[in-house]
Amino acid sequence: MKNLILILLLSFSLTVSAQKKCVTTIVERVGDYKVKVIKKNTCGDQTVIKIQTYLKKDWQALQKKRKQRIKKRKNEK
């Protein structure tokens, strides 16, 4: 019984630690037609910050593709 409880606690702690998100994305509007995207990666030894600017239309197209990929993966499972 003690071993069973120990195994359950270990598996729970592993799943909680595995769900830590390393990459955060911040989207800011720059004017009427541009978007600034800041990606901060905190995994590993160093923090990596990547800043990109997109036209608003291009950013919306990327988001649409991303949503379609996610939807397609969910339908395959």
Q: How far is CA 1 from CA 9, 14, 76, in A?
A: 13, 20, 39
Q: What is the pLDDT of residues 3-45, one digit of tens each?
A: 767 676 666 665 555 567 788 999 999 999 999 999 999 888 8
Q: What amino acid occupies position 60?
A: Q
Residues 6+ apart with CB under 8 A from 43: 22, 23
pLDDT at res. 17: 56
With residues binned 3-state (H G I as helix, E B as strand, rest as coil), the percentages for the chain, rounded to 5, are 50, 30, 20
Whole-structure pTM value? 0.62
pLDDT at res. 56: 93
Q: What is the rounded CA–CA span in Å between residue 35 and residue 18?
A: 31
Residues 6+ apart with CB under 8 A from 47: 40, 41
